[in-house]
A = this chain, B = another copy of it.
Amino acid sequence: MSYAPPEEFSGVTVACKANVYFDGKVVSHAVTFSDGSKKTLGLIYPGSFKFNTDAPEKMEIIAGGCRVRIAGKGDWIGFPAGTWFDVPGKSFFEIEVEKGVAEYVCSFC
C-alpha cells in the first residue's frame, strides 16, 4: 500500500472556493479532469470526523498521517503519508488526525 503519491494534476479545472467542513477542520478544493472525473485536494486538522460516501472513494494520504476506520467495522488503522485506502460507496468512514495537518487526494470512482 506504499507507493509514489501524485504531485500535481495538469489540464484540469480547479474550483477557487474550498469545500469547508466541520468549521474548517476539514477543507478541500475540487478538481475536475477533462474526462469529467473528479478529485478533491484536502487538508484535515486535528480531530475525529465522520464522512458518508455516495460513490466509492480512494483516499491517498500525501502528507501528515491519520487513523481510519471504515464502515464502523474492525480496528482503526494508521495511514501515514504515501499510503491510501478505499471506501465503498453508500458507506462511511471515520478519520482521526492527532496532530499537525494531514493532506489527501480523494478520487471518486
Contacts and interface: CB of A to CB of B under 8 A. Distances in A.
Contacts of A63: 17-18
Copies per assembly: 2
Interface string A9-33: 1111111111010001001010100
Consensus secondary structure, chain A interface: strand
A24 B101 contact: yes
Given A24-B43, A24-B101, A11 B11 contact: yes
Given A18-B43, A18-B103, A29-B29, A13 B8 contact: yes
Nearest to A27: B43
Q: Which of A6, A14, A31, A105 has the most CB of B within 10 A?
A: A14
A11 B101 CA distance: 28
Nearest to A11: B11
A79 interface: no
